[in-house]
Structure 1
Amino acid sequence: MSITQEINMLGVTWIDVLAVLYFLICWFSYAHFASVKTQSNPSLYSVLHDYRLEWSRRLIEREVRIMDSNLIGTLHRNASLLVSTTIFILAGLIAVLGATDRAMLIAASLPFTVTTTAGLWELKVLLLIIVFVHAFFKFSWAMWQFSIATVLMGGAPNTTDSESLKQDFIKRHTLLLSLAGTNFNHGLRAYYFGIAALTWIVHPLLFILASSWVVSVLYKREFRSQSLRILLE
């Protein structure tokens, strides 16, 4: 049996294929665009890196670093919370996958929902599972990197140590915090695109519109937000 025949048996239409491809293009293209644009234009990522650098400089000027430990602990707990939340979401999606018929009946009661086959429904849920698995790996890695930054902070140089030792710590600590922040940000992006993928259950055209809307929201928040303007000022 050919791939085309298998797709037809699942009830996948050309608009479904187009919607998924558009979704993936939006996600990966925006990630690349944001990475490139950040190098030449201010963004929340680049500005926060500068603030993390200043934080690391201030850290080594303090003899008592309880405040810094609490700050990293808060970042760690935020990532940990989202790791736990993602696990619950994945558990729910797997449960939905195991109760396809009942879930399809509930979805069919929603307005404007297109009729679908069990095979296509399972593909829609599988896409959501893939998106949130990606989010889980990003959040869990960010959590671990915040833990590494805490360990590194435990060995921070004293105020009387050499300048070269201080600068080495500042560089390493800032890069670790920024790496953790980047992974945390990628996990949040996955949540945004997960919301877009959820609309595929209703209609593939709504899926396309939601993917475009998510890109617009992400761009405004990372490059045109009021929070960014406040940090720049």
Structure 2
Amino acid sequence: MYFIQEINMLGITSIDIIALLYFFISWLSYARFASVKTQSHPSLYSVLHDYRLEWSKQLIKREVRIMDSNLIGTLHRNASLLVSTTIFILAGLIAVLGATDRAMLIAATLPFTVATTAGLWEIKVLLLILIFVHAFFKFSWAMWQFSITTVLMGGAPNPDEDETLKQIFIKRHTLLLSLAGTNFNHGLRAYYFGIAALTWIVHPLLFMLASSWVVSVLYKREFRSQSLRILLE
């Protein structure tokens, strides 16, 4: 009873609760669906694992590995850039949270924006903060995994060394690259759903529509994109 009273005081309507639940169900369901479908159907990220495996095999054959270190350096910088970008986004959202009244006035000028209370507004901003905190952890972990891969590559066996050592390196190098790529992908996925969450400021129905749209975009890019077709060919 007390919980219901608190919800009423915050100005949370039933459509807001439904939209929020729909958002989390969409995100979690798609993540589970993509994980299961990748095991039986080719996806952009499962195919990239095969290319990473081929990269590891070719790396072993080269005595000079400057190109390989530059490639991993590029991947590391991409993750680092998104870590920095996420920090700026979080700083902006915290600033918005500290200026609730002014931000609400600006948002109210947008067309079709529903009236909201200060409490509900803060919940919407807190949701965005949680999403981008999640993205920060994923990108920072991907960045660290790319760093580990660089260290591993520094101890890669030479072309004339024992074949067993080569196979161990190939397996470890490929798996680490794929783990880093998976975390990077999850960070990008959080950005997509962060954009969907942003629409909650306008209207909860738009929030639900944007959540469905994000799932559709992610599915097409991971399982039906032209990039995937090119890699499979």
Q: Are 1:51 and 2:58 matched, yes or no?
A: no
Residues in 2 aligned to 1:93 and 1:199: alpha-carbon distance in whole angstroms: 15
- Please, what TM-score do these two structures have when normalized by structure 2? 1.00
1:73 to partner: Cα distance: 0.1
How far apart are 1:104 and its partner, in Å?
0.1
Counterpart code for 2:105: L
Give the 5 Å matches for 1:129-140.
Answer: 129-140=129-140
Paired position in structure 2 for 1:221: 221
1:52-201 → structure 2 map (5 Å cutoff)? 52-201=52-201
Cα deviation for residue 4 of structure 1 reads: 0.5
2:15 aligns with: 15
CA-to-partner distance for each residue in 1:89-126, whole Å, 9 max, x for gaps? Answer: 00000000000000000000000000000000000000
CA distance in 2, matches of 1:227, 1:155: 33
SS in 2 for 1:113: coil
Q: Distance in 2 between matches of 1:5 and 1:73?
A: 53
> Using the alignment, how far apart are the partners of 1:118 and 1:159 within structure 2?
65
| Residue identity (%) | 88
Q: Which runs of 4+ in 1 moved over 6 A?
A: none
Residue equivalent to 2:26: 26
* Distance (whole Å) between structure 1 residues aligned to residue 120 and residue 214 of structure 2: 23
CA distance in 2 between partners of 1:138 and 1:8 (Å): 35
User: What displacement does 1:14 show?
Assistant: 0.2
Number of equivalent positions: 233
Q: Report deviation, 1:65.
A: 0.1
Amino acid at match of 1:8: N
C-alpha deviations, 1:108-159, integer Å up to 9, x for none?
0000000000000000000000000000000000000000000000000000
Deviation at 1:163, TM superposition (A): 0.6
Structure 1: unaligned runs, 5 residues or longer: none
- What one-letter code is carried by the residue in structure 2 that aligns with 1:185? N
Which runs of 5 or more residues in structure 2 are unaligned?
none
Aligned counterparts of 2:215 and 2:101: Cα–Cα separation in 1: 33
- SS state of the match for residue 96, structure 1? helix
Q: Secondary structure at the match of 2:218?
A: helix
Give RMSD over aligned pairs.
Answer: 0.5
